[in-house]
A = this chain, B = another copy of it.
Amino acid sequence: MPVTKKSDPVNIPSYPHEVLAVVLSVRDGNLCVLLWRRGQSPFRYRWALPGGGVQPTEWLRVAITGHLAAKVDVREVAHLEQLATHSAIDRDPRTRVLATAYLGLVPSDVRPNLPADTAWHRVDELPRTAFDHHYFIDAAVGRLRAKLSYTNIGFALAPAEFTIAELRDLFSAALGYELSATNLTRVLTRRQVIGPTERTARPGQSGGRPATVYKFVARELTVTDPFAVLRPPR
């Protein structure tokens, strides 16, 4: 059992702490994660999550935002939430580094200018990643998929305005299975997650009825579905 005098910060040992970001976005109909290719050992040429150290006066959220700025325009990140902290002592072979990961989401219509070492990778065809970044990516994808079903988190993946067909393709890509436009519309409108605008979209070359343009009612995260059971009495 550790002998640290409890809660006395002078006696608490310290060691490096880094922040990482799992930035997810739907690119060309596939859910993708933003990775950069390492140029140095360890894990040279493996793909890694963006991130880095935390300055002594920085909040974690500010730190990850700063590191992300080197990869994408931060204003393009529509949602950012903390995921988990990993502490395995050998997760970095050089020295112990604690890592706190964030989940970031980028709308499908923004096309960030990526540095040469950075690219989007489909989450269903991931390359081998550096360190334990694979676990963070799995956790991020799992959380996104769960929250798509009971929150309005889709706003952070979608353009400001969209048709139902576009939204169906977006959700199908993010969830990894096909959805019907009928039911998607019904569920999201009843919950007041999305709502129609006055405008309609021009049909494509092959014709068809013009689609109503929808938008998300709110662009901040809210829980929309009280869980299915054990509800309070009316």
Q: Which residues of A contact B (CB under 8 A)?
A: 1-2, 4-7, 9-18, 38, 48, 51-61, 63, 66-67, 69-70, 82, 84-85, 87-89, 92, 94-98, 100, 146, 148-150, 171, 175, 177-179, 184, 187, 225, 227-233
Contact = CB atoms under 8 A, between A and B. Distances in A.
A16 B13 contact: yes
A228 B228 CA distance: 6
A170 B84 CA distance: 30
A67 B6 contact: yes
A52 B230 contact: no
Nearest to A224: B229
B150 A229 contact: yes
Contacts of A61: 87
Contact of A177 (B16, B51, B233): B233
A16 B10 CA distance: 8
B149 A227 contact: yes
A52 to B, nearest CB: 4
Contact of A12 (B2, B5, B52): B52
